[in-house]
Amino acid sequence: MSNISFQDYLEDKPREECGVFAVYAPSRDVARLTYFGLYALQHRGQEAAGIVACDGRRAHSHKGLGLVSQVFNEDNLSPLKGHLAIGHNRYSTTGGQHLRNTQPYLIETMNGPLGLAHNGNLTNALELRQILLKRGVGLSSTSDTEMMTQILGAPVEVWEAEGLHVQHDPDDLWIARIRAMMQIVKGAYSIVLLTRDAIYAVRDPHGLRPLSLGKLPEGYVVASETCAMSTIGAEYLRYVNPGEIVRIDSRGITTFEGITPAPKRALCVFEFVYFARPDSLLDGQMLHKIRQYMGRKLAEEAPADADIVIGVPDSATPAAIGYSIQSGLTFSEGLTKNRYIGRTFIQPEEVLRQQSVTLKYNALTSNLEGKRVVLVDDSIVRGNTSRPLVQLLREGGAKEVHVRVSSPPVRHPCFMGVDMATYKELIAAKLSIDEICQHIGADSLDYLSLSGMLDAIAAAVGFRNNYCTACFSGEYPITIPDWLFAEERDKLLFEGMWGA
């Protein structure tokens, strides 16, 4: 058995909600463009960041723990020369901040350098790990991204010898390798790859995680969200399709079918609720507008007898504006935010989540004094921050606090790359809405219905689409192994990984 401890493993779980970025621009400083792209995607991961750049011969990497502005400086950016680069912001679900798990991964293969950055989570990671270890592949981390990198690094004939049928491309050996990987891995993945001559963008057949394409005057950009393109002056083109491979090189953009897309798309609906920045585009519409529509629908379904509407800044502000417009109640600011404190949802430890509320917010007493307040939040996951927020409003002078949530109750964990806790941790999996209301100390509590949320998104974007709603409905778009639902799944996975 490896000398890695179970506690080390717990701090290194591979499930992530991350940001990826890539650029091909021969006449530009690609490392600096990637830096600013990652800066725009900082909200998707605040624990580590990394960049790999290539000049057509060699690839150079720098990565570290912390925010983008903490990891990079002029001294470590300047050696990252080349005309193509990829970058990654990492968030690990249990707060394990270990350099060995930071991305992008970079290895040397018989066909030159291979770099990979990944947003998502593989549901067959245990099986993949055992396959690679039995083949004699050495692994340095518990990350499923490292496993994907090693699968891609092997000649495709290795997998064909084991019965895999892969369509080759006569002009590009990497296309066959990527196709092989897409047959082998299961789960959620939006990835960017770097080789000696090209950038590749790849999305799983369900399209669970977002991945967009953009154009610079001198090249092209790939990013988890379109806000990163706006930051560096790129023009948004479209999203990478589920199951698609996009190659970007000296020939421009070339597309390939990597794997047959699933019958129904399943983009994570939580991107609409919380994850994506309000100035990003999803389904052709800006998130700020979509969230306003969700707030308007919430006001229709769950009105409140109150004086003012406030939102939990900044993520719930658009929904609060929508609630105000629909209800006719005055929108006001009741909480001010310290913008140098990270988002509480992605603080890795429960104690930090609870303590960070008073660090992160202050009540605007002049706006709250004697008022009946509707507090709009985008979601309640564990319920740790809602009670302190309600108490903060009461201490600030609010006469009543009516909490309204612009998404349904989160009753099921996510296994596709989002830290959505476990059944044991999810407050709505244990308590009724009335019990949650009592727990957080609100005068009333109500949520937007699942159908109402989907109706609001459809009204905002102008058409009805399919999304993954598993955290709300329990209907998973992919098969989830039974052991992942076990309360001791971390221990089971650890023992399976290391042969305990």
- Residue pair 320/310 in contact by the 8 Å Cβ criterion: yes
- Radius of gyration of the chain from its Cα atoms, rounded to whole angstroms: 23
**Joined tokens for residue 16:** 């992530």
In angstroms, the CA 116 to CA 143 distance is 12
Rounded CA-CA distance 178/355 in Å is 44
Query: What confidence score (pLDDT) does residue 92 get?
Result: 62
CA atoms within 13 A on the CB side of 29: 10
Phi and psi at residue 73, to the nearest 5°:
-150, 180
- Measured in whole angstroms, the distance separating CA 6 from the mean position of its chain's CA atoms is 26
Encoded amino acid at 133, one letter: L
Distance (Å, whole) CA 308 – CA 318? 15
Q: For the chain, count helices (H), then strands (E).
A: 20, 24
Give the separation between CA 345 and CA 383, rounded to whole angstroms.
Answer: 11
pLDDT at residue 10 is higher than 60: no
Give residue 136's pLDDT: 85
Pair 190, 224: CB distance under 8 Å = yes
Question: Is pLDDT at 303 greater than 90 in this prediction?
Answer: yes
User: What pLDDT is recorded for position 360?
Assistant: 75
Locus of tokens 């799944």: 489
Query: 10 Å Cβ neighbour count for 180?
Result: 24
Instruction: Report phi then psi at 38, rounded to 5.
Output: -65, -35
335 backbone dihedrals φ, ψ, rounded to 5° = -130, 135
Cα(23)–Cα(86) distance, integer angstroms: 6
Specify the pTM.
Answer: 0.90
- Distance separating alpha carbons of residues 253 and 231, to the nearest angstrom: 22
Domains assigned to the chain: 6-266 (3.60.20.10), 272-476 (3.40.50.2020)
CB 83 within 8 A of CB 55: yes
User: Of the listed 18, 54, 268, 468, which one is catalytic?
Assistant: 18
Mean pLDDT of the chain, nearest integer: 89
Q: Quick one: average pLDDT of 222-235?
A: 97
Burial degree of 218 (CB within 10 A; 0-12, 13-18, 19+): middle
d(CA 421, CA 418): 9
Is residue 493 predicted with pLDDT exceeding 80? no
Q: What is the phi-psi region of residue 186: left when phi exceeds 0, alpha when psi lies from -120 to 50, beta otherwise?
A: beta
Q: Encoding tokens for residue 304? A: 């409140």
Running DSSP on this structure, what letter comes out for residue 206? T
How buried is residue 51: exposed, middle or buried, by Cβ count under 10 Å (0-12/13-18/19+)? buried
pLDDT tens, residue by residue, 336-391: 987 665 544 444 455 545 555 566 788 999 999 999 999 999 999 988 889 999 99
pLDDT tens by residue, 75-112: 999 999 999 999 999 986 433 456 778 999 999 999 99
Residue 267 backbone class (left: φ over 0; alpha: ψ -120 to 50; beta: rest)? beta
Q: How many angstroms separate the CA atoms of 16 and 348, rounded?
A: 11
363 in Cβ contact with 388 (< 8 Å): no
pLDDT tens digits for range 100-159: 789 999 999 999 999 999 999 999 988 898 889 888 888 887 788 999 999 999 999 999
- Banded pLDDT at 196 (limits 50, 70, 90): very high
pLDDT tens-place string over residues 200-215: 999 999 999 999 999 9
Of 340 and 414, the one with more pLDDT: 414
pLDDT of residue 139: 83
DSSP β-ladder status, 19-24 and 219-223: antiparallel
CA–CA separation, 83 and 56 (whole Å): 8
pLDDT in tens, 247-271: 999 999 999 999 999 999 999 999 9
| 471 has catalytic annotation | no
Which pLDDT does position 2 carry in this prediction? Answer: 33
Q: Which residue has the tokens 């990565």?
A: 63
Q: Does pLDDT of 11 surpass 60?
A: no
User: Which two tokens mark 58?
Assistant: 């060699």
Query: Tokens 């990003």 sit at which residue?
Result: 280
CA 15, CA 22: separation in Å to the nearest integer? 21
Please say whether the beta carbons of 269 and 467 come within 8 A.
yes
What is the residue type of 495? E
Measure the CA–CA gap between 89 and 104, rounded to whole angstroms: 9
